[in-house]
Structure 1
Amino acid sequence: MRGHDLAALRRLNTIAVLRFLRSQGPERPQTLSQLAAATGLSRPTVDQVVEELTVQGWLAEAPDATSGRSGRPARRFRFRGESGRVVGVDIGLHKVVLLLSDLAGQIHASEREDVDPQMGGAERLAYLRSRIERFLGDHKVRADELWALSVGVPGIVGESGRLTSVIVPEWSDFELARRLADAFPCPILVENDVNLATMAEHWRGAAQLVDDVACLLIGHRSSCGILLGGRLHRGHRGGAGELGLHRQLGLARAHEALVWRGERPEGESEVAALARASAAGDPDALEVLDRYATCLAPGIGALLLAVDPELIVLSGGMTPVGEALVPLLTRHLREVPVDVVMHVPRIAVSTLGEQGVALGAVRKALDTVEAVLSDATAPLPSVTR
């Protein structure tokens, strides 16, 4: 074998060991024998790779869990998720959510803050930049520790990263990543918020065991993210799933049915009141949700015929009423007038709450880390301890 062939082989061996240890998480360190069995590499090769990765700062030896037993314990190693950080951000019309994760996907900090919905585009950009900087400063994240920053936005994001938004009109034909690049010296990713929510559901939510998924945002805005074959389907220009922009499908005005005039204690939101009343079987609340489901059904029915997903996940601000909404929506979908019997898949309610989009942003940021760690054409960089 030629020299560059041997270097490539060593790099592939390194990728195999690193990828497996990273997949096990910090709670499942592995012995050299376990690594050899899992990767198919010889014990001497694994020993050499582990030694190099430990020196580079990617691996650490785990504490001995067999204290008190006779004989020399087998050494166990883990991936050092703490060797770097990524940040996921959800900047919506009314709020910003920030999550700090290590490279193993462990969330170490989360923050949420209300945002003035009347804030203009330039002011919102300045606020976003300063808010992220404060978040990093509060949690003592150094610039050299930050591997990626991922931001979820309400709008269509093209392949080049150019944003088109009807929620923040001044952010149309806008390159948010470029505007943030001077403040954060790391890869900056921008993605549609519902697409990120879909990724989060597949990673840690209701769709972990399903690869064909439609994630529907419900509330004052209706939109959809689509996952096909386990991969996010963005469409040619990034607009796949934006059914709320089609006026004749009814999704754009569905939220107008969500009017609750019943009992509402001081301080209780309209959504919380509607959820409480519907859970108690209040007929007026169930009628409100039934009207809402009637408005949603034609657009979702069109999506089912086009994509035929295995699962629909309801996410967004109206998930508190999700359990009462699911049977109503299922019934109305079965009544959508079509020439054939339309299959209505299982409908689940997201349990990720307000962190769903930011969690998907973390997942997208970690995918860039995965790309670096899996690149067989470049040497693996060392990391600080």
Structure 2
Amino acid sequence: MRQQSGDASLLRRLNSAAILRVLRESEVATLSELARAARVSRPTAEVIVEDLLAEGWAEECAEGQDDRRRGRPARRFRFRAGAGHVVGVGVGGSRLRAMVTDLNGAVVAARRASHHPSMPAGDRLDAIAELVGAVLAEAGPAVRDVTAVGVGTTGTVDGSGRVVKSVALAGWTGLDLRGELSRRIQAPVLVDNDMRLAVLAEHWRGQARGRQDVVYLFTGSRLGLGLLIGGRPHRGAHAASGEIGRQAGDHWRAYRHMTEYAIAVEPGELRSQREAAQFAIERARAGDEQAARAVGDFARQLGQGLLTVVNPLDPELVVIGGSLSQAGDLLVEPIRKLFSEACLYPPDVAASGLGGECVALGAVRLALDHADRRLFTQPS
């Protein structure tokens, strides 16, 4: 919301923030409803709403035919979500994704670009800034008008937006990612670990809506883990939550079941770990029993690795996310069966519907939370 003039009273600013917040939370509201919810007089609400209309933060709803039949109806207003925009960026091992949304989270534009893990850090930073510029050019708003840019990246990320350690991207360890991107993008930049943002996205718009304690397993070209505890993404003592590390019994080397299958079926075809997994999943869905066994073995070994987290954490739900979540019940059912045998309170297991967009979508939510604090928090 635009800053009030220097002589505006604190009470006026408090009331303006309250009215705007009520508008955001309501689909449609009359002046009387706004005044009652914000605990201000109706004349005060009317003056504030006129200001919000002039500034573009609110819009008046058109009258319907039924309204005209009743005579002069009460004026109705709603929050104008298109008055501001945020950007969410996902930085993966080989792909960059970016999306622009309005302040209600409706996607206006989305783009992706490929990059190589060995790309110099400076080139990757430039590629991120170029992708943000390109997706905003498609969406309409200028970079300087964006409320915030959220960025999710692989690696351990501290509270200042610095990448403490990354084994997936060259030159990323020790990088002040927030600072470097802020020099390239003329908008507020926020940075966090990709798995924390993925589980945030699930809690916002995915399988974890309404859940408080969730384990999120990312499956794609690599494995990652996100934890939702008490309804909030867990950071850990060293901001390293989401980094799996080594597992006893090499449980996280489960991909070998599907890579060995792909090599046995087509020995002359070179595939990445993810491509081999997708090949096996497609063949299993087509009825290949050998492929189905390979996918089942993969799922069971994932489940065995998850037990070391699930049993002590006691979550309500385990979400299988990332690009391999398209396997659906081929992954979910073996894990669910294992949990029923090995857990005192077996959690539900579900495949994510967010696919590879989960990190960028979580980065959008991170940026929207920043926008909410900036626009709707009452000033002190």
- The aligned residue for residue 351 of structure 1 is 353
Check conservation: 1:254, 1:292, Cα contact below 8 A: yes
Identity of aligned residues (%): 36
Is structure 2 residue 365 aligned with structure 1 residue 363?
Answer: yes
Matches for 1:84-233 after TM superposition, within 5 Å: 84-163=84-163, 164-233=165-234
Distance in 2 (CA, whole Å) between partners of 1:172 and 1:117 is 13
How far has the Cα of 1:9 moved from its partner? 4.4
Please, which moves more after superposition, 36-45 or 148-157?
Answer: 36-45
Give matches, 1:265-344, under 5 Å.
270-336=276-342, 341-344=343-346
Structure 2 equivalent of residue 381 of structure 1:
none
Pick closer, same or farther for the CA change 1:272–1:255 going to 2, 3 Å: closer
| TM-score after normalising by structure 1 | 0.86
Measured in 1, the distance between the counterparts of 2:307 and 2:223 equals 14
SS of 2:63's partner is: coil
CA contact (8 A) 2:201 2:362 kept: yes
The one-letter code of the counterpart of 2:45 is V
* Per-residue deviation, residues 53-72 of structure 1 (Å, max 9, x unmatched): 22333212122224642411
- Secondary structure of the 2:369 match is helix
Q: Which amino acid aligns with 1:210?
A: R
Gaps of 5+ in 2: 1-7
Output one character per residue of 1:234-279: Cα deviation in whole Å (capped at 9) or x when no partner. 1122112322x12426344222222243878x9x954444333333
1:334 positional shift: 4.1
Residue pairs, 1:4-15, within 5 angstroms: 7-15=9-17
Equivalent residues of 2:89, 2:152 under 8 A apart: yes
Whole-angstrom distance in 1 between the partners of 2:201 and 2:254: 25
| C-alpha spacing 1:170/1:249, structure 2 compared with 1 (3 Å) | farther
SS at match of 1:170: coil
CA distance in 1, matches of 2:170, 2:251: 20
Question: Which residue pairs with 1:60 in the alignment?
Answer: 59
In structure 1, C-alpha distance between the alignment counterparts of 2:189 and 2:249, rounded to whole Å = 34
Q: Is the 8 A contact 1:83 1:145 kept in 2?
A: no
- Return the offset for 1:332: 2.6
| Equivalent AA in structure 2 for residue 198 of structure 1 | V
With over 3 angstroms needed to count, the CA separation of the structure-2 counterparts of 1:349 and 1:367, relative to structure 1, is same
Q: CA deviation at 1:348?
A: 0.9
Amino acid at match of 1:15: A
Corresponding residue of 1:35? 34
* 1:352 aligned partner, one-letter code: L
Please list every run of 5 or more consecutive structure 1 residues that lacks an aligned counterpart in the other structure.
Answer: 1-5, 379-385
CA distance in structure 2 between the aligned counterparts of 1:356 and 1:159, rounded to whole angstroms:
21
Q: Is the 8 A contact 1:293 1:332 kept in 2?
A: no
The question of whether the paired residues in 2 share the 8 Å contact of 1:271 and 1:320 is answered with no
Deviation (angstroms), 1:350? 0.7
Aligned partner of 1:382 in structure 2 is: none
**Counterpart of 1:325 in structure 2: which amino acid?**
L
State the distance in 1 between where 2:246 and 2:40 align.
54
For 1:44, the equivalent position in structure 2 comes to 43
The CA RMSD measured in Å over matched residues stands at 2.5
Tell me, in whole angstroms, the C-alpha distance in 2 between the residues paired with 1:8 and 1:306.
49
Q: CA deviation at 1:303?
A: 0.9
TM-score, normalization by structure 2:
0.87
Q: 1:342 to 1:222 in 2, by over 3 A?
A: farther
Question: 47-56 or 189-198, which moves further after superposition?
Answer: 47-56
Mark the CA change 1:132 to 1:120 in structure 2 (over 3 Å): closer, same or farther.
same
User: 1:142 Cα shift?
Assistant: 1.4
How far apart, in 1, do the equivalents of 2:287 and 2:41 lie?
63
In structure 1, distance between residues paired with 2:187 and 2:251:
38
Secondary structure of 1:182's counterpart equals helix
> Contact 1:159 / 1:237 at 8 angstroms: preserved in 2?
no
Secondary structure class of the residue paired with 1:159: coil
Q: Give the 3-state SS of the residue equivalent to 1:19 in structure 2.
A: helix
Give the match's secondary structure for 1:246.
Answer: coil
